Chain A
C-alpha cells in the first residue's frame, strides 16, 4: 500500500489532502520548468519562440489547469493554516466548502484573464 494509500481517499477532507500533495508536486515540477523558461531570456530569439509556443491557444488548456493547481493549492493551504493554528475545527466542513468555492471562482477568473490576454 505505502504511499499509494495517500491517493485512495474518497471523502472530502481526504481528497483535499490528496490534491494538496498532487498540486504541490505539479507546482514544484512547474517551478523547474519555469526556471528553464526564464533561462531563455538570455536570447531574444529563444525567448520569443518559447513564448510563442507556450502562450498560445493550443497551450491554453495546460495553463488553465496550472492556474487551477495553483489556486487550489494556495486557498486550500490557507484553510490548512487556519486549522493548524487550532481554529475552526468545529466548522471544518463549512471552511472546506468556502475554500473549494473560492478555488472555482479564482480558477474561472484567472483563466478568463489569461484567455483575454491571448486574444490580441
Chain B
C-alpha cells in the first residue's frame, strides 16, 4: 500500500512510501517499517504500541488518531501528517513543551493536607470516584488540542487537555485545591475561550469528552 507522509526538515514536503501490508497491521507498524527498511531518517514518536502512552498521535487522513490503534485495512489510501497547532520539529515529531507547561499551570496534582507522621487513609466512595474517573484516563496525546479552534489561534489558551486535568482534580472529593484551580481556569484565556466546537470530544482516543469537562469547569467558575 502507498502511504503518503508530510515530512518536514526545514521545509515541508510530501513523500510517498510503498509498504507491504499484513492483516491486522496498524499505521504505526507501517511507520516502523518505513524507518527500518526504507528511510532511517524518518522521525516519529512512539512508545507503548498499545494506546496508553499517547506518544503516537498523528493526523491520519485529516483526523487525529493514535497510529498504534489505527488499522491500515480501515482505509483505501493513507495520508499521515503531524498534529495541527503544534510546532513541527521534524517529520511527524512536534513540540510538546508548551502542552506540558499549560498542564502544569492548572496544578494537576492532589492538593490535600497530608500528615506524614500520622497518615490517614483518604476514603472515597464509588459514586465520588465516578464523578471524575473518566477524566483521569487522559493520556496527554494532544489530539484534542490539535482540533480545538481556540488553541489554533490563541497561543496562551489553556486548551482542552489542561482543562480536563483541572476538572479531574476539582471533582476529586479528596482534593482541597478547587479555588486555586478555578482561579486559573476562569481567566480570560481559560474556559471563556471555549465555544463548544466539540471537536475535542470527537477525536479523543479515550472518549473522555473534554468539551464536557470544560463546561462543568465553566459552571463551577460562576460561583
Size class of B's contact patch? 20 to 34
**Bound Cα distance from A92 to B219, whole angstroms:** 19
User: Is A3 on the interface with B (CB-CB < 8 A)?
Assistant: yes
Which of B185-223 touch A at CB < 8 Å? Answer: 195-199, 201-202, 209, 211-212, 215-216, 218-219
User: Is B152 on the interface with A (CB-CB < 8 A)?
Assistant: yes
Q: A5-B84, A5-B152, A6-B152 are in contact. Are A80 and B219 (CB under 8 A)?
A: no
User: Is B149 on the interface with A (CB-CB < 8 A)?
Assistant: yes
Q: A85-B215, A89-B211 are in contact. Are A9 and B196 (CB under 8 A)?
A: no
Residues of B within 8 A of A80 (CB): 195-196
Closest to B149 in A: A6
Chain A 2-42 interface 0/1 with B at a Cβ cutoff of 8 Å (1 = within):
11011001110110110010000000000000000000000
Q: Interface on chain B toward A: helix, strand, loop, or mixed SS?
A: helix
Q: Decide if B62 touches A10 in the complex (CB within 8 Å).
A: yes
User: Is B118 on the interface with A (CB-CB < 8 A)?
Assistant: no
User: Is A119 on the interface with B (CB-CB < 8 A)?
Assistant: no
Q: A83-B211, A86-B212 are in contact. Are A17 and B202 (CB under 8 A)?
A: no
Q: Interface on chain A toward B: helix, strand, loop, or mixed SS?
A: helix
**Bound Cα distance from A14 to B147, whole angstroms:** 9
**Bound Cα distance from A11 to B64, whole angstroms:** 12
Q: Decide if A13 touches B199 in the complex (CB within 8 Å).
A: yes
Q: Decide if A89 touches B201 in the complex (CB within 8 Å).
A: yes
Q: Decide if B152 touches A92 in the complex (CB within 8 Å).
A: no
Q: Decide if A17 touches B149 in the complex (CB within 8 Å).
A: yes
Closest to A79 in B: B196
Q: Decide if A86 touches B215 in the complex (CB within 8 Å).
A: yes
Chain A's nearest CB lies how many Å from the CB of B197? 4
Partner among B63, B202, B209, B215 whose Cβ is within 8 Å of the Cβ of A84: B215
Q: A5-B153, A85-B215, A86-B216 are in contact. Are A92 and B201 (CB under 8 A)?
A: yes
User: Is A113 on the interface with B (CB-CB < 8 A)?
Assistant: no
Residues of A within 8 A of B149 (CB): 5-6, 9, 14, 17
Which of B133-159 touch A at CB < 8 Å? Answer: 147, 149, 152-153
**Bound Cα distance from A85 to B199, whole angstroms:** 17
Q: A1-B152, A17-B149 are in contact. Are A89 and B212 (CB under 8 A)?
A: yes
Which residues of A does B touch, CB under 8 Å?
Answer: 1-3, 5-6, 9-11, 13-14, 16-17, 20, 80, 83-86, 89-90, 92
A-B contact pairs, 5 of them (CB 8 A): A5-B152, A11-B202, A14-B197, A89-B201, A90-B209
